[in-house]
Amino acid sequence: MPVKREYQTLTKRTRMMLDAPENTNVDFKREATGIKSSDLVAFANSPTGGTLLIGVDEYTSEDGLQRGKIVGCDVDDNARLMMINKATDCYPNVEIQIFIENLNGPPLMRVEVPSGHMRPYCSSRGEYTVRTEGRNRALYPEELLLIFMDREGDKFLTRFKTAVSQLEDKVGHINQSLSHDMGTVAQHIHDLDSQLQKTLGHVGRLTDSSKKRSRNLLQTLKDSHDSIEKLEQHLLAERQLVADNYQRDQQKRLASLESKLDVLLDRLEVPLRD
C-alpha cells in the first residue's frame, strides 16, 4: 500500500513538533533554499535521525518558550527536487522522505531524515556534522573513529554471519553427501564381504579336494616307489640267478669239453705236456 505524502491539514506528529522548541530531533526552516547539505548530514549522522519542518519560523511564546509558527513555503515539484538534489549531494547519499501538509492553509514541507546505516555521512564540501542540543556541530575525530569502527564492525559481523551460514549450508550438504557415500561404501563392503565368504567357501572346498588328491597322489607315488624298489630287487636277484646259472653252464660246458678232449687225446695217444 503506497504511503500517503500529502495532507490537507496538519498531522498529529507535526503539531507535537510545533508545540515544542527546536531540539536534537527537530529543526525549523523558513524556506527550502535555506537548507544545506550539512543539515541533512547532521540528522543522518545522529543516532535517532530527525525532522526538518520547512515553512516554519521560530517564535517566543507568552511563557517565554520557543515554538514553531507556520508561515508557509513553496511545495511544488521544484521545491521537492531541490531537497532531493541536496540529499544526493551528500556522501553517501542521504535517504529522505518528503511530506506536504496543511494544504488548506499556509503549506509546509516535512522532511524526515532517518539515522543512516552507512554513517558517517559528509556534505559535498567534506563536512562531517551531527545534530546535538538543537544545533549542528562538527563531528570530533574520536567520534568519527567510533562511527567508522561501528560501521566496519557491523559489516564484519554481517559478513561473518553470512560466511557462517554459507559454511553451515556447505557442511550440511557435505554431511548429507558423506552419509550417502558412507551408506554406499557400507553396502559395497557388505557385498564384498558376502562375495569373499562365498569365495573362501569355494577355496576351502577346492583346497580340501586338492589335499585329498595330493594325498592320493603321494600314496600312489609311494606305492610306485615301493614297487620300483621291489622290481629292482627282483631284477638284481634274477640277474644274480642268471649269472650263477650261466657260470654253472659254462663250467659244465668246460668240464664236458675237457672230458671230450681227454678222450680224443687218449685215442690219438698224445701225451699231455706239463
Question: Which tens digit of pLDDT belongs to each residue from 121-156?
Answer: 999 999 999 999 889 999 999 999 998 888 888 777
Q: What share of the chain in percent tops pLDDT 90?
A: 49
User: Which pLDDT belongs to residue 252?
Assistant: 83
| pTM, two decimal places | 0.59
Mean pLDDT of 235-262: 79
Residues written for the chain: 274
User: Which pLDDT belongs to residue 77?
Assistant: 94
Mean pLDDT of 78-106: 96
Please give the backbone phi and psi of residue 168, each rounded to the nearest 5 degrees, phi first.
-65, -40
Between 15 and 180, where is the model more confident? 15
User: Which pLDDT belongs to residue 208?
Assistant: 62
| pLDDT at residue 202 greater than cutoff 70 | no
Structural contact between residues 49 and 113, judged by C-beta atoms closer than 8 angstroms: yes
Mean pLDDT of 59-73: 92
Mean pLDDT, all residues of the chain: 85
From residue 156, give the alpha-carbon distance in Å to each of 16, 47, 82, 121, 153: 40, 20, 36, 19, 5
pLDDT band, residue 68 (cuts 50/70/90): very high
pLDDT band, residue 105 (cuts 50/70/90): very high
- Which 3 state secondary structure label does DSSP give 29? strand
Please give the backbone phi and psi of residue 224, each rounded to the nearest 5 degrees, phi first.
-65, -40
Mean pLDDT of 248-266: 77
What residues contact residue 92 under an 8 Å CB cut-off, 6+ apart? 116, 118, 121
Structural contact between residues 165 and 84, judged by C-beta atoms closer than 8 angstroms: no
37's grid cell: 547539505
User: Which pLDDT belongs to residue 108?
Assistant: 97
Task: List the end-to-end C-alpha distance of the chain, in Å, as a whole number.
Answer: 167
- Which 3 state secondary structure label does DSSP give 253? helix
131's grid cell: 545534530
- CA dihedral (212, 216, 217, 220) in degrees, to 10, reads 170
Question: Which tens digit of pLDDT belongs to each residue from 259-269?
Answer: 877 777 776 66
Question: Rounded CA gap, 170 and 165, in Å?
Answer: 9
Domains assigned to the chain: 12-139 (3.30.950.30)
| pLDDT at residue 1 greater than cutoff 70 | no
User: Which pLDDT belongs to residue 12?
Assistant: 96
Question: Which tens digit of pLDDT belongs to each residue from 10-22?
Answer: 999 999 999 999 9
User: Which pLDDT belongs to residue 259?
Assistant: 80
User: Which pLDDT belongs to residue 205?
Assistant: 62
Q: Please, what sign has the CA dihedral across residues 205, 209, 214, 215?
A: positive
